A and B are shown apart, each in its own frame.
Chain A
Amino acid sequence: MSADPRIRKELKECGEENGSGVFAVPISGDIHNLRGQILGSEDTPFQGGKFNIEIKIPSGYPFEPPKMRFITKIWHPNISSQTGAICLDILKDQWSPALTIKTALLSLQALLCAAEPTDPQDAVVAEMYMKNRAEYDRKAKEWTDQYANEDANEGPIQRICEMGFDRPSAITALEENGWNEEAAVNALLGM
């Protein structure tokens, strides 16, 4: 039982600039391997940030949840500051086949507004969130400005695209290599 028609339909509805603040696009035409993006909401330390999400659609979709991970580094109690792993119930046991890639991304956007420090993915961040909220806000904003600021990183993205790689692949490689251009190019070339 293939879910490809459903995935294609979903992608039509959550393409770039659909006005909802989240989108998902296939990487190199592979509809099971997507790059999602959510905009940080206003009045949060993530305001102005563009957060990229790795989305893998399992063969059991939509009966199994999409696998999502932040590839943009983010300072948040429910997201690992090291791996980008996300702790969100609807991406685990509370998934329902009536949910979609778009609703899952919107839930992630909501998670950025309302952290659940009692069910943390990153204990260090959660402890800071609960014990020193001002310091947490400062650091979350610092990371947003440093890692989620795609415009400031436009130069390296453009240069890698000019080498013939597509934009989602370029951004993914740069983010996975801490915005080190040379390391990103080597990763893309499989070196």
Chain B
Amino acid sequence: MKRGKYGVQLSHNNQTNPYQHPPVLSPTPPPPSPSSAQASNLKVTIKSLHVISSWRWSLSSSDDVCGICQSPYESTCPGIKFPGDECPVVWGKCRHAFHLQCVSTWLGGGKNTCPICRREWEFDDSEEKR
């Protein structure tokens, strides 16, 4: 088994070392030609595809973690079960970003400043729309 170029797992039925003869997957395979298929001993059968994707918030900040809960932005802040839409990242006009629930708890405690730069906190909606 070898991780293919496009994130698929390949299994093949010949005995050659896959590292010496890597099967090639092309996004647009050439039309099958009976003569060339017979000329090659290599037969590739895709038995299963295991597609992996990853996502990240598009942040201009160089930090990987929310400055309040110190967990990665892509992770969740305490008390939230699922990352992503349930634990969104929000920006202030000062360009600092936090988990929505984290900064809401801070602002709900009667403070109106950015935890990092102490400037008055104003949500920046324009960044979210990018």
Asked if A98 and B68 sit within 8 Å, CB to CB, the answer is yes
Bits for A108-137, please: 1 = Cβ < 8 Å to B, else 0. Answer: 000000000000000000000000000000
Asked if A98 and B116 sit within 8 Å, CB to CB, the answer is yes
Q: A1-B78, A63-B106 are in contact. Are A96 and B70 (CB under 8 A)?
A: no
Q: Which B residues are CB-close (under 8 A) to A36?
A: none
Q: How many residues of A contact B (CB 8 A)?
A: 14
Asked if B105 and A63 sit within 8 Å, CB to CB, the answer is yes
Q: A63-B105, A63-B106, A96-B116 are in contact. Are A6 and B79 (CB under 8 A)?
A: no
Q: Which one of B70, B101, B113, B118 lies within 8 Å of A9 (CB-CB)?
A: B70
Q: A6-B70, A9-B70, A62-B68 are in contact. Are A98 and B115 (CB under 8 A)?
A: yes
A190 within 8 A of B: no
Asked if A6 and B116 sit within 8 Å, CB to CB, the answer is no
B87 within 8 A of A: no
CA distance A9 to B116 in the complex (A): 19
B69 within 8 A of A: yes
A166 within 8 A of B: no
A-contacting residues, B34-67, CB 8 Å: 67
Q: How many residues of B contact A (CB 8 A)?
A: 17
B109 within 8 A of A: yes
A-contacting residues, B58-109, CB 8 Å: 67-71, 77-79, 101-102, 105-106, 109
Q: Which A residues are CB-close (under 8 A) to B71?
A: 5-6
Least distance between B16 CB and chain A CB atoms (Å): 47
Asked if B118 and A97 sit within 8 Å, CB to CB, the answer is no
Least distance between A92 CB and chain B CB atoms (Å): 13
Q: Which A residues are CB-close (under 8 A) to B77?
A: 1
Q: Which B residues are CB-close (under 8 A) to A182?
A: none
List residues of B whose CB falls within 8 A of some A CB: 67-71, 77-79, 101-102, 105-106, 109, 113, 115-116, 118
Pairs across A and B, CB under 8 Å, 12 listed:
A1-B77, A1-B78, A1-B79, A2-B79, A3-B69, A4-B78, A5-B69, A6-B69, A10-B70, A97-B67, A97-B106, A97-B115
List residues of A whose CB falls within 8 A of some B CB: 1-6, 9-10, 62-63, 96-98, 100
Across the A-B interface, give the 4 residue pairs with the lowest CB-CB distance, nearest first: A98-B115, A98-B67, A1-B79, A96-B115
